[in-house]
């Protein structure tokens, strides 16, 4: 009898698999498709809205007394990023730029996130008063070039040896230190942060004009298409471990050192400066896509 009961039990199990196997397979395939479409993405409803995180300066711009971070700052991905095209302009006017009156003798540092889809010529990632900045060299695997004005219109370029990949989000940065050293940073979504340090010319002048973010300037020939986000400027170089932490916070990370912060442009639906220094950018020919993460398949480092 026990043998018959075992046979019947095995037969029942086989009948169950035959009866419901196709249904289980269909459900499994449907779940895979829904995951791929991001239906179960828990971050989809928790994106940072424009201005939701900001720096508070109770004593006014260019002060640090009682400075603090306000709002909701949880490294959430931004609701939008800036779609960059050949016609895009993002300029912080020098006449209103706190950095020029307060930090004119500083050796600043700049950081941001960029997604490049195409490079033509040698476009600018940013330019600081046409005195120094960062370019993308479309002729050398999109290598980042450091740019300097060494004699009031005589421009010198240095190849960092670090390139920007296309069709992926990358962190970038440039630091200048008092020892006449420049450091370029490039971070990838896989968590790798690379850097290269080299000497820069002692004849580079102090900034006296506007800052251009991903905007072509007079002596630059070229453009790129893609996206740019979370551009930050500090008054001094930052420690290496601080830069690493900033990178690992991802595209939605707030400023890492607010006491040294000059400007913070998340480029989330506007060109406003949320550093408390009121260095709002004038933008033109800009689109802010809300589905940027789906379009670019962004993944946090």
Residue 70: its H or E element: strand 68-71
Same domain (yes/no): 142, 175? yes
254 falls in which pLDDT band (50, 70, 90)? very high
Q: What are phi and psi of 108, to 5 degrees?
A: -80, 175
pTM exceeds 0.85, yes or no:
no
Q: What mean pLDDT is reported for the chain?
A: 79
- ∠ CA 140-145-147 to the nearest 5 degrees? 145
Residue 227 is predicted with a pLDDT of 95
Same domain (yes/no): 268, 244? yes
Range of the domain at 152: 53-296
Residue 194 is predicted with a pLDDT of 95
Looking at the chain, the number of H-run helices and the number of E-run strands are: 4, 16
- ∠ CA 14-15-20 to the nearest 5 degrees? 105
Rounded average pLDDT over 278-286: 87
217 falls in which pLDDT band (50, 70, 90)? low
Same domain (yes/no): 234, 131? yes
Which residues, in sequence order, are CB contacts of 248 under 8 Å at separation 6+? Answer: 191, 301
DSSP class of 52: S
Q: Which of the residue ranges 76-90, 148-162, 188-202, 237-251 would you say has the lowest mean pLDDT? A: 148-162
Same domain (yes/no): 72, 147? yes
Same domain (yes/no): 153, 280? yes
Question: Is residue 104 classed as helix, strand or coil in its secondary structure?
Answer: coil
Residue 93 is predicted with a pLDDT of 66
Tell me if 301 is assigned to some domain.
no
Residues 44, 190 contacting (CB under 8 angstroms): no
The residue ranking higher by pLDDT, 205 or 121, is: 121
Residue 40 is predicted with a pLDDT of 46
Same domain (yes/no): 87, 23? no
Token pair for residue 164?
């920007």
Question: Is residue 290 classed as helix, strand or coil in its secondary structure?
Answer: coil
Tell me if 272 is assigned to some domain.
yes
Tell me if 46 is assigned to some domain.
no
Say if strands 132-137 and 282-284 run parallel, antiparallel, or are unpaired: unpaired
Same domain (yes/no): 107, 251? yes
76-105 pLDDT, tens digit per residue, is: 999 999 998 877 878 776 544 454 444 444
Is residue 16 pLDDT above 80, yes or no? no
106-141 pLDDT, tens digit per residue, is: 577 889 999 999 988 888 787 765 566 777 887 778
Q: What is the CATH number of the domain that holds 172?
A: 2.60.120.200
């Amino acid at each position: 009898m026990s043998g018959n009961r075992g046979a019947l039990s095995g037969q029942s199990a086989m009948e169950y698999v035959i009866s419901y196997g196709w249904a289980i397979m269909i459900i499994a395939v449907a779940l895979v498709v829904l995951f791929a479409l991001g239906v179960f993405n828990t971050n989809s409803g928790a994106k940072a809205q424009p201005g939701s995180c900001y720096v508070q300066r109770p004593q006014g711009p260019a002060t640090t007394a009682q400075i603090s971070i306000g709002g909701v700052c949880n490294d959430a991905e931004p609701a939008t990023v800036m779609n960059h095209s050949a016609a895009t302009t993002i300029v912080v006017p020098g006449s209103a730029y706190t950095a020029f009156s307060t930090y004119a003798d500083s050796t600043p540092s700049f950081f941001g996130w960029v997604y490049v889809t195409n490079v033509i010529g040698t476009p600018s990632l940013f330019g600081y008063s046409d005195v120094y900045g960062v370019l993308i060299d479309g002729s050398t695997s999109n290598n980042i070039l450091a740019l300097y004005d060494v004699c009031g219109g005589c421009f010198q370029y240095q190849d960092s040896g670090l390139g920007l990949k296309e069709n992926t989000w990358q962190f970038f940065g440039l630091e200048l230190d008092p020892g006449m050293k420049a450091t370029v940073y490039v971070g990838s979504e896989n968590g790798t942060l690379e850097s290269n340090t080299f000497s820069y010319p002692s004849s580079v002048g102090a900034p006296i004009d506007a800052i251009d973010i991903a905007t072509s300037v007079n002596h630059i020939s070229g453009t790129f298409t893609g996206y740019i986000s979370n551009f930050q400027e500090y008054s001094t170089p930052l420690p290496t471990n601080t830069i690493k932490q900033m990178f690992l916070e991802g595209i939605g990370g707030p400023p890492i050192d607010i006491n040294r912060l000059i400007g913070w442009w998340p480029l989330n639906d506007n060109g406003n400066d949320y550093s408390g220094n009121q260095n709002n950018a004038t933008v033109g020919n800009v689109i802010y896509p809300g589905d940027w993460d789906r379009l670019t398949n962004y993944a946090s480092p």
